[in-house]
């Protein structure tokens, strides 16, 4: 959440509506569960006001989501960042550079894997549950990875992220390949 103050309440209103609809309950029902006035929730979902943390906290608990999910928005689709092309997040000090590939608010569980593919090998994966996101970083060799209908071509140090909820694949191109795979479930 690095936008203007107007965007703060806007983000909150979007998140509230989203999570409430996902839970399949009415505005009145959520307000009742959270112990918050209907008029207050109506206002917040309309993108008005400046709620206190206690109000937001009560709503997060009633929606069974981490607090930060109400104040920060997730970002879901296929993306590729080439080796060395990530946005620099620190002043580039001589000899040291760090680039941000991806950030994620609290709430998702995740597993880190190392994977290895022999020359020419192709591995197809079934769709995982909705909300699964994969982050792939190539360590050595060339490969294709991502959604089965449109995998990205990747070299060492390249990064891609894509929804794990669709058929996807990992394929060695040329010789053997190794990569780091981060799987996230929210």
Partner DNA sequence: ACCGACCGTTCGTCTTGACGAACGAAGTTC
Partner DNA sequence: GAACTTCGTTCGTCAAGACGAACGGTCGGT
Q: Which of residues 105-124 bind a second copy (CB under 8 A)?
A: 105-118, 120-121, 123
DSSP-derived secondary structure letter, 68: H
The CB density around residue 6, as the number of other CB atoms within 10 Å, is 9
Tell me how far, at minimum, the Cβ of 13 lies from DNA, in Å: 11
How far is the C-alpha of 151 from the C-alpha of 124, rounded, in Å? 11
Q: What x/- string results for residues 136 through 165 when contact with a second copy is judged by CB under 8 A? A: -xxxx---------------xx-x------
Binding partner of residue 38 among DNA, a second copy, none, CB cut-off 5 to 8 Å per kind: DNA
Residue 128 backbone phi and psi in degrees, to 5: -90, 180
- Range in contact with DNA (rule: CB under 7 A) among 48-56, 111-119, 133-141, 155-163: 48-56
How many Å is the Cα radius of gyration of the chain? 20
43 lines the binding site for a second copy (CB under 8 A): no
Which range of residues in 37-45, 62-70, 77-85, 92-100 is near DNA by CB under 7 A? 37-45
Range 16-35, binding DNA (CB under 7 A): 25-29, 35
Query: What is the Cα–Cα distance from 58 to 55, expressed in whole angstroms?
Result: 5
Return the one option of a second copy, DNA, none that residue 150 interacts with (CB less than 5 to 8 A, by type).
Answer: none
Nearest CB to DNA, comparing residues 33 and 185? 33
Query: Angle of helix 53-63 relative to helix 38-45, nearest 10 degrees?
Result: 90
Site residues for a second copy, window 66-95 (CB under 8 A)? 66-68, 71-72, 81, 83-84, 86, 89, 93-95
Q: What distance in Å separates the CA atoms of residue 1 and residue 56, rounded to the nearest whole number?
A: 16
Contact between 109 and 185 (Cβ < 8 Å) = yes
Q: State the nearest-atom distance from the C-beta of 6 to DNA, in Å.
A: 12
Task: Scan residues 97-126 and list those touching DNA (CB under 7 A).
Answer: none
Q: What distance in Å separates the CA atoms of residue 99 and residue 90, rounded to the nearest whole number?
A: 8
């109506």: which residue's tokens? 42
Helix (H, G, I), strand (E, B) or coil at 76: coil
Give the residues lining the site for DNA (CB under 7 A): 25-29, 35-40, 42-46, 48-52, 54-55
């Amino acid at each position: 959440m690095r936008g203007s103050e107007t965007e703060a309440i806007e983000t909150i209103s979007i998140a509230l509506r989203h999570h409430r609809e996902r839970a399949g309950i009415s505005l009145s029902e959520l307000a009742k569960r959270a112990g918050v006035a209907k008029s207050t929730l109506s206002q917040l979902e309309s993108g008005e006001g400046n709620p206190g943390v206690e109000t937001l906290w009560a709503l997060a608990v009633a929606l069974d989501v981490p607090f930060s999910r109400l104040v920060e928005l997730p970002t879901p689709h296929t993306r590729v960042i080439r080796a060395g092309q990530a946005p620099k997040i620190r002043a580039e000090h001589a000899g040291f550079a760090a680039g941000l590939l991806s950030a994620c608010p609290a709430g998702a569980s995740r597993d880190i894997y190392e994977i290895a593919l022999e020359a020419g090998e192709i591995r197809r994966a079934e769709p995982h549950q909705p909300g699964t996101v994969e982050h792939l970083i190539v360590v050595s060799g060339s490969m294709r990875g991502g959604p089965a209908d449109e995998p990205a071509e990747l070299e060492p140090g390249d990064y891609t992220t894509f929804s794990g909820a669709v058929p996807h694949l990992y394929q060695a191109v040329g010789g053997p390949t190794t990569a780091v795979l981060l799987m996230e479930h929210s």
